[in-house]
Structure 1
């Protein structure tokens, strides 16, 4: 046992999982990794257009697109909630999410949930950042939270819609694209209902944006039990 441990120490530090992944990515010839994050949010005040949400998020997207490459995606606003998918480099997207939280009071942002997150996606769904408003005819303002199975299905339905919507939107200034964005419920496939989004925002089977950032964008801080004992234990000798 001691001989085996001594051999490992003499061999030097082993590669971490991150080292292995980055080495594999480098060998594949990739120089930029693209991340895609989808989150849903509840609004505390009914919206009759996308204007106020668009105004805030467009500034955030533009700010972080100018730093390290373009952020693409799609913001779909309902009267009481919205779906937002963002694509870009991981640090950019984390910065966007942090600003969403810090400026949430400006649009009376309520509950948020990250329903999908994937690093190193094969390609982007969107070639620009698009915004649309979908006026819902429902009078329902509150939905019970989905269980684990329902949350997975709901997130899958939203991702399916986004995957189909991307190729349909050719360019932000294209006439046909503008026509589709003006009537998404009729001209795009599988548009999620507002009720689905409202039932995802309170579910506990997906992290809030704040929880997501704590998990994936905060320094790891592990308190070892041995470090909480005084006097400190002497170092091991081999």
Structure 2
């Protein structure tokens, strides 16, 4: 990752362009910039989300990519309400810790569950804080709840797992043509070739 503020500025510009072409949907979420990792939570329409994933894929093909080896954790549809009021980013001053041996043996489902639980709790905390103090800077909101910041070793575990897809793999599946058989194409009973009746 190059300069972290470059990445925050890059996404601010990208979202301005996307909002011009997808005027109906706003973009909200949170970009957390660690010393060597990034967590990006986005809330928007499917079109916007797929555009961001396509941009990630294109970024990988550039010589000077802002992000290396991104993975997609979760894509959800028809969520009743948003967790974040706006999109913002913050540079975290958290040092990377060594991977905990107990964490390495855990099933990936448990690690994902722990990861998502922390993000949801952080989002709920931010919602409550901004209702009481609308102008409070994000950095001070995050400083008050260090226990809700996803540890870097948890991110490292997810990035090393083969279960999560890269943007390229994700889009290959999304763009693959699907052969759908309509119900009207099924005939019951199964048609058989009828031979002409033989007469004696």
TM-score over 0.5 (shorter chain) = yes
Q: Aligned-residue CA RMSD in angstroms?
A: 3.1
**Alpha-carbon deviations, 1:29-57, whole Å to 9, x = none?**
xxxxxxxxxxxxxx4x5x5xx30210112
2:116 maps to which residue? Answer: 159
* 151 and 121 in structure 1: CA distance in 2 versus 1, 3 angstrom threshold: same
- Superposition deviation, residue 164 in structure 1: 2.2
CA contact (8 A) 2:115 2:154 kept: no
Candidates 16, 32, 55, aligned match of 1:76: 32
1:204 aligns with 2:162: yes
d(CA) in 2 for partners of 1:73 and 1:102? 22
Indicate the residue corresponding to 1:220 in structure 2. Answer: 177
Q: Provide the secondary structure at the position in 2 that maps to 1:100.
A: helix
Name the residue aligned to 2:43.
87
Distance 2:165 2:59 in 1: 19
Q: Corresponding residue for 2:57?
A: 101
Residues 183 and 71 of structure 1: CA distance in aligned 2, closer, same or farther (over 3 Å): closer
Q: How far 1:148 moved relative to its partner?
A: 9.2
**Residues 101-140 of structure 1 aligned to structure 2 (within 5 Å):** 101-104=57-60, 105=62, 106-138=64-96
Give runs of ≥4 in structure 1 deviating > 6 Å: none
Give the superposition deviation at 1:166. Answer: 2.5
Q: Aligned equivalents of 1:214 and 1:185: distance in 2?
A: 39
CA distance in 2, matches of 1:211, 1:143: 29
Q: Structure 2 CA distance, aligned partners of 1:175 and 1:91?
A: 31
Match of 2:11 among 18, 37, 57: 57
1:181 is matched with which residue? 139
User: Please, which runs of 5 or more residues in structure 1 have no aligned partner?
Assistant: 1-42, 223-235
Matched positions, count: 173
1:75 Cα offset (Å): 0.6
Larger radius of gyration: 2
> How high is the TM-score relative to the length of structure 2?
0.72
